[in-house]
Amino acid sequence: MTTDAPQWVRVTLRMTRSALMSLAWFWAICLIAATVVTIVLAWRLGEPPFSIMSTVRYGGIWYPFSVGLILVTATINVHVAAGQTRRSFVIGSLLSGALAGLLSGVIMTVLLPLEAEVYLAQGWPHLTTSAAAIPEPWGTSLLLHCAIFVTGSVSGVLVGLTYYRWSAWATLALPLTVLAPVIASGMDGRSLTIAAIWAASAVTAVAAYVLARTIPIRKPLEMS
């Protein structure tokens, strides 16, 4: 990518590289942990009582959420001090998080059927927790998991911005700023609920963009 590219494109690419590195570590740890837990449960109980991989969706929501929150509060000062705009920062944060969420959705959609095949080969029932139902059609599963993981990322950016802007007072806004990932945590695969998650993510992203455009940059002493 040349320096002639728009600033927001350069920022997005830089943030995306970091997001993908973090994502690789996340999924590597999840795969190792899920494998170990499955083996231990099979050894102790005879069979896993439910799909271990289906529970990863919760980590897939709240880990990107925390990354987005930390990214905003820790780096927006440096970004603007380096002569770059708030607009490029928030666009890069949202797009890199969304791209990572989409990739996580693809990975989850692939891993769940693979886990089901392993369970079937061992004669184990492939059950899910009540709040983590696996929709059968792969297209529905893909849309659901992409929506779930994207909403965690964009909500983390919004929450980070509100805490950067209003400090502890932003806690009062948490019922609104974290509403989307909280709802997504318990959604199933019905078309209406998938559309609701995507809509909530879009509203959250717009709110983050609007807030970031005019957010005052705080001095280091003001952030303590």
pLDDT digit string, tens, across residues 132-187: 445 567 888 888 889 999 999 999 999 999 999 998 889 898 888 988 888 887 66
Q: Measured between alpha carbons, how far is 105 from 135 in angstroms, rounded to an integer?
A: 13
* Cα 186 from Cα 127, distance rounded (Å): 16
CA–CA gap between residue 165 and residue 212 (Å, rounded): 9
Backbone φ and ψ of 130, nearest 5°: -60, -30
Cβ proximity of 159 and 109 under 8 Å: no
Residue with tokens 């969420």: 101
Q: Is the pLDDT of residue 192 over 50?
A: yes
**Percent of the chain scored above 70 by pLDDT?**
89
Question: Which whole number is the average pLDDT over 52-67?
Answer: 90
Largest CA distance in the chain: 61
Mean pLDDT of all residues in the chain? 87
pLDDT at 131: 43
Give the start-to-end residue ranges of the domains of the chain.
7-223
Amino acid, res. 90 = V
Whether the CB-CB separation of 108 and 58 falls below 8 Å is answered with: no
For the entire predicted model, the pTM comes to: 0.88
125, 41 contact by CB (below 8 A): no
